[in-house]
Structure 1
């Protein structure tokens, strides 16, 4: 009997262990989830840092003196905002309204004139050729590097020599000069106003003033709006210069006026504490209105298609 060899199936080999994809990491070896968590945490902290003081101010402006101390900072009490507003606008024969008017003149009119001067100066530095142009512009850049607090005392001494202290012009005129505005005006002019478009207007016989007013300035409206907002915000929050220049409280801007009320808290906190809270809240409203009303001018690309 012949031996019959039987074929047996070899035992199945053990399957190799599944290879898992390595955990993705950034260049520094940090997992993406941890990296996103850190970024979101920083953004959340910055948001709370910005929103919480404003929320506290809004809530505090709705309280009277007793509620400010009997309730928590973020706890709502009986809404007394209307009473606080009436008290604010009638206190001292409408002194707060005078401060608002002064701030609108210092910051609003001053920012408009300063923005116009800056746009015109930046346009001249960009489009015109004259001796020493870059050296003069270098002096402007030096002015950008100097903090405004450094020049406040010299401005006060100059105004004292000219007899402009404790006057409207002592605060208004220094705010018209803006080295940063001139620099930004030149940058916007180089980006928004094509040289070919100006050459076309000159060929058609338009003068330089007409070319700027009817051709260049409409293209520079985003620059004007941006400079106006910068100037308006800086003028509205100006404090140190009016503090040195002014001694008549009828000429105070709203920032300095609220500061004087704050200094009077020790004398009569029951009256001045609601005035400070409500006055600070009302002082924010013009800034909010200015930003929301001018945000449509921030869009770029207004010169698209101007040059064929």
Structure 2
């Protein structure tokens, strides 16, 4: 189909979760609480890692970066989604849709690459403890994080570049609560089979390869820990367990959405909510509840803020 006899779509109607007002209000309250907890938890970790000199290490630098990315990731769509839940007809412009798509995959791509860097950091720490500070120095760590940002940008700009060239001449109803590739390209008035293959290759295969590399790395780490002392093994296992939990929460939903043909399934929106809203909220809890150093640093930050406020109250 060509666009010769059709007008170009200038915006999309986001169908969201439900058209029933009572359900929309319920979702608004629930997701408002989730978003508030996400922002508070992730920014708290960033503040703690930044303020405590004892946490100025490679591992916590990467953890602080992940928390900042989780804050950005949830903020890309949550405020807009909350506003749309209270709107009678939520519409997003074509430019706004592409902008949301770009930042969603930009931050998401950085997170995937950063998690790969984090497992490499743990691998070096466990396999080369005496040379760890030499191998993972600040310069190397900074370069790896910068490479993650570059990788995320390349991944995202490819998504937007391919999608922006498609003709959209109707329908204009997007069956989601945010703009994403699987639903968006289905609205194009042209054959998108080849484009779907490219998108699955860019999204699904890259995610799958990173996931397999991470699984292989964690398997090698667990085997390596058998030769460590009980105390060292317990501490390393605690850190690895946190990483594995976060990796599972991020990669499994992404593989479900992107590593398959772009068809609509009943669980799609539930899985989308899981990795866009729930996972960024859970990540701080997963890391902080299992990490004594972070908990101690949080208590110190709390006492410091309390000491600063006490003179003002008197």
Q: TM-score, normalised by structure 2?
A: 0.29
Q: TM-score, normalised by structure 1?
A: 0.29
User: Which of the pair is proportionally richer in helix?
Assistant: 2
